[in-house]
Structure 1
Amino acid sequence: MSPQGPSQADSLAAVMRDSIDAIYSSPAKRCVQTVEPLARSSGLSIDRDGQRPPRWPRGGFLAR
């Protein structure tokens, strides 16, 4: 993760915490570090199996 990464991950958590139902991450360390603040703030666990859910759009995020 870059030096700016932790603050960017915190910003992501602040913006998205109330608009998600699940968190999926690659098991790669950098990916998990990116979504850990989101998991803490939303109370959700991180699914780290490395498989995208079948409904994921090409860009990677599900919108409500």
Structure 2
Amino acid sequence: MNIKELLNKLNQIGMTDKAIGAEIGVDRNTVCRLRHGRHKSTSFERGLKIYELAKQKLPEHVLNA
């Protein structure tokens, strides 16, 4: 699952871009740009934070789909 898919799944469970941004240390605009593909890549550290957040918030079967 890529960053865009992880962010979309987090949105689907009710997390706003602002809440995601607060968890990973960026503003909501950055989260929105990542989710919509306007940022084609992100740092390894930020990607890892997004993955760890998804691992924490999403059910395992969704994360491994």
Q: TM-score, normalised by structure 1?
A: 0.26
Between Structure 1 and Structure 2, which shows a larger proportion of strand residues? 1
Q: TM-score, normalised by structure 2?
A: 0.25
Larger relative contact order (C-alpha < 8 A, sep ≥ 6)? 2
Between Structure 1 and Structure 2, which shows a larger proportion of helix residues? 2
